Amino acid sequence: MTAVEPTVVPVSTAPPVRTRALVIGTGFSGLGMGIELQRRGVDFLILEKADDIGGTWRDNSYPGCACDIPAHMYSFSFEPKADWTYMWSFQPEILDYLKGVTDKYGLRRYIRFGAHVDRAHWDEAQQRWHVFTKDGREFVAQFLISGAGALHIPAVPDFDGLEDFTGAAFHSAQWDHGVDITGKKVAVIGTGASAIQIVPEIVGRVAELQLYQRTPPWVMPRPNNAIPARLRQLLATVPGARALLRDGIYWAHEGVGFAMTQRPALLKIGELLGKWNIRRHVRDRELRRKLTPNYRAGCKRILNSDTYYRGVADPKTTLVTEKISRITPRGIVTVDGVEREADVIVFATGFHVTDSYTYVDIKGPGGEDLVDRWNREGVQAHRGIAVADMPNLFFLLGPNTGLGHNSVVFMIESQIRYVGQAIAAVDKVGAQALSPTRAAQDAFNTDLHDRLERTVWSTGGCSSWYLDEHGKNRTLWSGMTWQYWLATRSLRRSEYRFTR
């Protein structure tokens, strides 16, 4: 029997770096939190695993990558941008926006790049978090704030034979730009938000495109032409014009949220629009049948595209609905025994959502393992931000604060303000730490999950990545975003236990 080599944990000889607040990640959450801490005069550092800022908008650079929320809403309210080039902005412009925000607020001096957080433990005597990176560095902080988000760990299915494939294979969030797909046989596995952008973008360049579909998505029509220069000038120069546009976008999306959370039957209107979108682009009746979902619109994430169905209907494209059996050195074999040759495999298969909360080994007072607790009880937090009996620990876009209908940047702004209030509350009462009581957390989550049972995500007849292995929705907020804004507008001290 071969001996297993012990895991070697790097140990840094440098002394621990001390700060009041330690933030993980430099996406919208981490940068927004940094700006809030800066505004409040709280000493902080931001740890970033990569070599530049941007989070998901740095990592996802696949062809056609764009946001499915209008840019005037998918941006900080305190840092508006009037001259977005497209209504639904593409990845490069969003990344440039984040870099501009970073530079304007001088955040780079607070960021430690190449700092991949690995583990953290609470020191009861010091009332501080000790945080360690994979390269062995140690940071000590009073407050620990995860801005890592929920969609940053790519999910690649463990297909038999994948390691024997002789072509190029990569996840959409790890697009290999060194691979030239021109004239190649390309297989795209998955038909979610990334795939519907990739397919129409690459179909004209490849020799053959295989699209492997497990469940068809609802795809609504949405033209995304460039915003005319005159309109951009108007938004930049006319007082209130940009704010009015943002408000209009916000309330239009809240209308969809009302249907999803309160009246799922109203989503039939969207289904008629989705079916029309299929009919106008796909002539083949059998192909239309394969592309038409059999569940309520909104049960899975609603997608938007004016070009996806054209890409699927292209003569170069083969829609494969048979389950994948295995990968061979030359291609993909489905359960019907058919092997299709491929030069490149693209996994548009989403992310490990739950793992995004549990990827850091966190141990609280008494050495309690947060991951073990969440494995037993399910991933949950108070108001999706703070965790009972875990002092001074906060999650941005934590459990049940994702959205299926509006901009998560709106949610992030509510959360960074709430965390700022929590830190201020600790200082005001002369304490060292705070954590929500079990009673407050349980009451919040009981009400939240009762309301989720009536939403389209629970009643729409599908199985989605919103649900955990027990069928519980641990991902999405249960109501309208203005309701979450109200719930987090002010921190209620009665819901917290303070440690002096």
Confidence of residue 150 (pLDDT cuts 50, 70, 90): confident
As a whole number, mean pLDDT of residues 338-350 equals 97
> Residue 106: pLDDT above 50?
yes
Identify the residue with better confidence: 217 or 153.
217
Mean pLDDT score, 398-402: 95
**Which of 434, 196, 420 is closest to 308 using CA atoms?**
196
User: What are the residues facing 334 on neighbouring strands?
Assistant: 324
| Average pLDDT over the chain, rounded to an integer | 95
Per-residue pLDDT at 1: 40
Q: Is the dihedral of CA 170, 173, 179, 184 positive or negative?
A: positive
- For residues 427 and 264, give the distance between their C-alpha atoms in angstroms, rounded to a whole number: 45
Task: Output the CA torsion sign for 233, 248, 412, 488.
Answer: positive
* Residue 326 exposure: Cα atoms within 13 Å on the Cβ side: 8
Using alpha carbons only, what angle is made at residue 388 by residues 384 and 392, rounded to the nearest 5 degrees? 85
Tokens (6 digits) for 309: 């169905």
pLDDT of residue 352: 78
Confidence band of 153 (pLDDT split at 50, 70, 90): confident
How many angstroms separate the CA atoms of 226 and 88, rounded? 9
For residue 479, give both structure tokens.
């109501």
pLDDT digits (tens, 9 = 90+) for 228-270: 999 999 999 999 999 999 999 999 999 999 999 999 999 999 9
Task: Determine phi and psi for 20, rounding to 5 degrees.
Answer: -80, -45
Question: Average pLDDT, stretch 122-148?
Answer: 97
Count the Cβ atoms, other than its own, within 10 Å of residue 279.
13
Q: What pLDDT is recorded for position 135?
A: 95
Closest CA to 211 of 353, 312, 335: 312
Tell me: the pLDDT tens digits for 481-490? 999 999 999 9
Beta strands 44-48; 17-24: pairing state: parallel
Minimum mean pLDDT range among 53-67, 354-368, 446-460: 354-368
Report the distance separating Cα 310 and Cα 319, nearest Å: 12
Residue 303 DSSP label: E
The CA distance from 172 to 166, in Å, is 19
471 against 280, higher pLDDT: 280
pLDDT value for 354: 61
Residue 381 has phi, psi (to 5 degrees) of -150, 165
User: How does pLDDT run across 32-71, given as a tens digit for each residue?
Assistant: 999 999 999 999 999 999 999 999 999 999 999 999 999 9
Q: Which of 121-125, 145-149, 414-418, 492-496 has the lowest mean pLDDT?
A: 145-149
> Which position has the token pair 């495109």?
209
Q: Residue 262 phi/psi, 5° resolution?
A: -115, -40
Q: Can you give the pLDDT at residue 3?
A: 46
For residue 51, give Cα distances in angstroms to 114, 248, 345, 455.
6, 37, 27, 40
Among 109, 119, 90, CA closest to 24: 119
- In this prediction, residue 355 carries a pLDDT of 60
pLDDT score for 4 = 44
Q: What is the pLDDT of residue 345?
A: 98
pLDDT band at 9 (very low <50, low <70, confident <90, very high): low
- Bin 48: left if φ > 0, else alpha if -120 < ψ < 50, else beta: beta
- For the record, the structure tokens of 62 come out as 């696949």
